[in-house]
Amino acid sequence: MKIILEYSSMKKTLSLILLTFIFSSTVCFAKGPALWKISDENSEVWLFGTIHILKPETLWQTDKIKHAFEQADTVYLEAPTEEITQEEMFKVMLPYIQNPNGVMLSSLISKEAYEDLKVAVEGLGMPSSALASLEPMRPWFVAVNLSVQHLVANGYDPESGVDGILYTQAKQSGKTLRYFETIEQQIRFFGTMSANEEVAMFEAGIPDLLENQSMLDEIIKNWQRGDVEAVAKTLNEEMDKTPTLKERLLVNRNQDWAKQIAKIMKGSGKTFIAVGSGHLAGEGSLQAFLTAKGFEIKRL
């Protein structure tokens, strides 16, 4: 991000903001990531859960995934993050990233959380002055920014994320690209949080950043081998720490996307849908809302 802290690709960061999962590691998969299908006499829709940031050497495109993608004439992604410039992204984000009326970050979070923040900043090799530059920023923005930088420092690359690769492949093959949400909608999911929700997110996220690298590695391995139940278990454990955030970032959005997919199914054609893997696992998943609408979903 290039707002307060130096980071090379702001437009990629939006994908990570709505990450739900930001995991990665080197892959050795058997079945590969999970893929689902809904179909009727006129329509075929594939559902695929992505990881927004990966190490460059990560392998994930199995023959099954490639075949489904190649068949599709339309590709749906979460939002048009690949089609926005850094300047446009800055303009959209600016109203939502600073505390109002000169409020400082350290006055909003607990002393323990501030100490965790210091450790996180030091761990990234940032100068002590970086803490002062973070003070005017809202808790959600600081938490996401540090999470992204932590992953990049450990070899993860936004350019290697699944969504961006699928976007490029769709453009190159002449597929129609569609999106469930706008850029501003995605920013507003965080920007319109209550103060309590923001602080809860920050105080849960920074300790996880410091302590749970092994947990993230385990989740990504489960994603790679298509173990949706294991992914769901960890997702529920983590998201249940901040239930209102779970409603905002997962459940409500899945409900809306299910409505949009129902409209897609009323038409005709072949559609490949790729959204963050957290949306396709656990309680309140996208599949659960689609099943409630009467669709039969097949795991491939």
Count of beta carbons in the 10 Å neighbourhood of residue 211: 10
- Residue 14 included in any domain: yes
Q: How confident is the model at residue 210 (pLDDT cuts 50, 70, 90)?
A: low
pLDDT (average), residues 33-39: 97
How high does pLDDT run on average in the chain?
Answer: 85
- pLDDT, tens only, 131-155: 999 999 999 999 988 888 888 888 8
Number of structural domains the chain divides into: 1
In whole angstroms, give the CA distance from residue 4 to residue 135: 10
Which residue intervals of 124-251 are DSSP H helices?
Answer: 129-134, 139-153, 162-172, 183-191, 195-211, 213-224, 228-239, 243-246
Q: What is the pLDDT of residue 206?
A: 80
Confidence of residue 238 (pLDDT cuts 50, 70, 90): confident
Measured CA to CA, the distance from residue 115 to residue 24 in angstroms comes to: 27
Give the number of other CB atoms < 10 A from CB of residue 38.
Answer: 22
Nearest to 51 by CA among 286, 277, 236, 285: 277
Q: Strand 269-276's sheet: what is its strand order?
A: 176-179, 74-77, 269-276, 43-50, 35-39, 298-299
| More confident: 79 or 241 | 79
| pLDDT for residue 158 is more than 70 | yes
Q: What does DSSP say about strands 74-77 and 269-276: parallel, antiparallel, or unpaired?
A: parallel
Strand partners, 299: 36
Report the amino acid identity of residue 277.
S
Q: Render pLDDT for 62-78 as a digit per residue (tens, 0 to 9).
A: 999 999 999 999 999 99
Residue 286 forms part of a structural domain: no
pTM given for the model: 0.87
- pLDDT of 213 > 80? The answer is no
Q: How far is CA 89 from the centre of its chain?
A: 17
pLDDT, greater one: 243 or 11: 243
List, in sequence order, every residue forming a beta bridge with 39; answer none if it has no partner. 44
Confidence of residue 283 (pLDDT cuts 50, 70, 90): confident
d(CA 300, CA 285) in angstroms, rounded, equals 17
pLDDT confidence tier of residue 214, bands split at 50, 70 and 90: low
Q: How many residues does the chain have?
A: 300
User: Is 205 domain-assigned?
Assistant: yes
Residue 141 backbone phi and psi in degrees, to 5: -70, -40
- Whether residue 141 is contained in a domain is answered as yes
**Tokens encoding 43:** 């329509």
Residue 63 corresponds to which amino acid?
Answer: D
Q: Is residue 10's pLDDT more than 80?
A: no
**Structural domain containing residue 109:** 10-68+84-281
With b for 16 or more beta-carbon neighbours within 10 A and e for fewer, the 185-203 pattern comes to ebbebbbebeeebbbbbbb
pLDDT digits (tens, 9 = 90+) for 82-108: 998 889 988 999 999 999 989 999 999
